[in-house]
Amino acid sequence: MNILVIGTGYVGTTTAIVFAELGWHVTGLDTDAQKIDQLKQGKLYFYEPGLEELLNKHLQSHQMGFTTDKVKAIQENDVIFICVGTPSHADGSADLKYIKQVTEDIGQIMNGYKLVITKSTVPVGTQEQVVAWIQAAQLKSHPFDTASNPEFLREGKALQDAMNPDRIVIGSNSDRATNMIQTLYQSVKCPIIVTTPKTAEMIKYASNAFLATKISYMNELARLCDPLGVNIKEVAEGMGLDPRIGLSFLQAGIGYGGSCFPKDVSALIQAAKTNHIELHVLEKVVYVNQTQHLWLLSKARERLGDLANKKIAILGLAFKPDTDDIRESPSIRLIESLISEKADVYVYDPVASLPANSHFKSIKCCKDMDEAIDGADALFLCTEWSVFERIDWAEMKAAMNQPNIFDGRNVLDAGKMKDIGYFYQGVGYS
């Protein structure tokens, strides 16, 4: 089977590369000619460890290719993965305009049987719309099946997750489609869940919403641990050893970000409202996440007083390490708050950067840590890049105007930092 992946964003590019690695011939299709040209040259336009090496490997072996020619791509491939974006409307609901456009293209262009698999994260019931859109667009009736096959990739660990997944979810009402998808994944060893399209779509949303809930729960608990003099890191360890809870996603910090959790939680809340259901827990999850950085900022005010004209160093723009993704990053929310208080903000990240058209005109983006930290009155650590743990903090202390560290990821050893002479404040850990 030859595979077409429509949409060469983060998920689509990763999906295409991984299926090539699994031995299938893959074509990536996108309307963005610049993006396609870059991929053809073996250049990954986003940062993700290990992917660019595989991209070049499979381009050289002709196991994969990229194109903007949708007619040829759709007609020459029987298995089509939809990996286009589903951005949020103003009310938080998912915008399916790109899904609709792609499915209409498939309907108009298809020249025989096609298996259309939605890998994009979409609201429950979308698969039924996909069928209707394809049928309405067909110029000549051709057989087709549809299925939902949601992705569960972590940015920074996408290759690892794709090659060694926790599970594969197949949502389909067709035995033929199910068997074809199982064949595509035949060399991958993990549990396979075969269910209805609606259930598969809900599994994706429910998974991300639950992980976001764990994060916000620990972040809110950390606020209580601080005045009680309790170490949230030890609390997390004690909780996580219970197999019913688990250790993952119990790390307190300044909140979650990225392209998935904020968007997916909002979409699920909006879907509930449409069905006259209130998801009170998830509404609070969002509130805690949006205000978590303000809690740490209040600690800085207690220490420094008025932040106006004080130099504040920000270490980390990306919402997590091993990615250059700054979408919904807590660091950005913190920067916005600091700017509103007229602080002088200096930012450093080893990989991520602000876009050229960024509205943050008043901040200084630094090429190295020394520039960001030199003369700073306070430092906020916002992304747990490993390089930050290896800093010679004793040397850095001498460069700061005031040795104040606000660790938004609880990365550093509080005791060691205090021994060096820093004022150290973590999140529920000081």
Indicate the SS3 state at residue 378.
strand
Q: Indicate left, alpha or beta for 397 from its phi (over 0: left) and psi (-120 to 50: alpha).
A: alpha
pLDDT digits (tens, 9 = 90+) for 211-249: 999 999 999 999 999 999 999 999 999 999 999 999 999
| Nearest of 372, 379, 430 to residue 402 by alpha carbon | 379
Taking residue 48's Cβ as centre, other Cβ atoms within 10 Å add up to 21
Asked if pLDDT for residue 360 goes beyond 90, the answer is no
Domain 2-193, classified CATH 3.40.50.720, yes or no: yes
Angle at 349 between CA 347 and CA 354, to 5 degrees: 70
Model's pTM, two decimal places?
Answer: 0.92
- One fold for 2-193 and 209-425: yes
**Type and span of the H or E element at 195:** strand 192-195
pLDDT tens digits for range 132-191? 999 999 989 999 999 999 999 988 899 999 999 999 999 999 999 999 999 999 999 999
Predicted confidence (pLDDT) at residue 356 exceeds the cutoff of 90: no
- Rounded CA separation 70/101 (Å): 12
Name the helix (H) or strand (E) containing 314.
Answer: strand 311-315
| pLDDT-wise least confident of 107-111, 161-165, 287-291, 359-363 | 359-363
Catalytic one of 83, 260, 366, 382: 260
In CATH, which of 3.40.50.720, 3.50.50.60, 3.30.750.24, 3.90.45.10 is domain 209-425?
Answer: 3.40.50.720
Q: What's the chain's Rg over C-alpha atoms?
A: 24
Rounded CA-CA distance 255/403 in Å is 24
What pLDDT score does 278 carry? 95
Phi and psi (nearest 5°) for 263? -65, -45
In this prediction, residue 309 carries a pLDDT of 95
Q: Mean of the pLDDT values across residues 71-75? A: 97
What distances in angstroms separate CA 48 from CA 172, 249, 322, 331, one per listed residue?
31, 21, 7, 20
**Each residue's pLDDT tens digit, 77-115:** 999 999 999 999 999 999 999 999 999 999 999 999 999
Instruction: Examine the pLDDT at 65 and tell me if it is beyond 90.
Output: yes
Q: What's the rounded Cα separation, in Å, for the pair 84 and 34? A: 17
Name the residue ranges covered by the structural domains of the chain. Answer: 2-193, 209-425
Which residues of 23-113 form beta strands (DSSP E)?
25-29, 64-67, 79-82
Q: What is the pLDDT of residue 275?
A: 95
The answer to whether 260 is a known catalytic residue is yes
* Rounded average pLDDT over 196-210: 97
Q: Is 10 helix (H, G, I), strand (E, B) or coil?
A: helix
Q: What is the pLDDT of residue 335?
A: 96
CA angle 258, 384, 285 (to 5 degrees): 45
